[in-house]
Amino acid sequence: MSMFLNAFEFTSEDIVNILRAHDTDITIHQLAELHSILDHDSIVRSALQYNEPEMQLKSALSHAEDLMIMDGLYITEPKRFYVDD
């Protein structure tokens, strides 16, 4: 169990936002499967590089989108989410 609690959680709603940005629809069953496949630890680590909630969300969406594209999970490039540095 983690020694600390973080305030950021990557949810199924975040996945739906990525899929909508790519004009992609999936079933509830596929969403549940996709949610379980994604590496939530790396997504949250990406988000927690930032202090501002808006930047945390941008980073999480961008990282999750990268993972989905790399693994061929329902979406393809071009990316829709970026972190502005």
Q: Could you read off the pLDDT of 40-72 as tens digits, one per residue? A: 999 999 999 999 999 999 999 999 999 999 999
**pLDDT at residue 31, as a whole number:** 97
Residue 81 has pLDDT above 50, yes or no: yes
Asked whether residue 52 is assigned to any structural domain, the reply reads yes
C-alpha of 71 from chain center? 13
- Say how many domains are in the chain: 1
Contact criterion met (CB below 8 Å) for 6 and 46: no
- The chain-wide mean pLDDT, for the chain, equals 92
Asked whether residue 82 is assigned to any structural domain, the reply reads no
Q: Which domain holds residue 17?
A: 12-70
Asked whether residue 17 is assigned to any structural domain, the reply reads yes
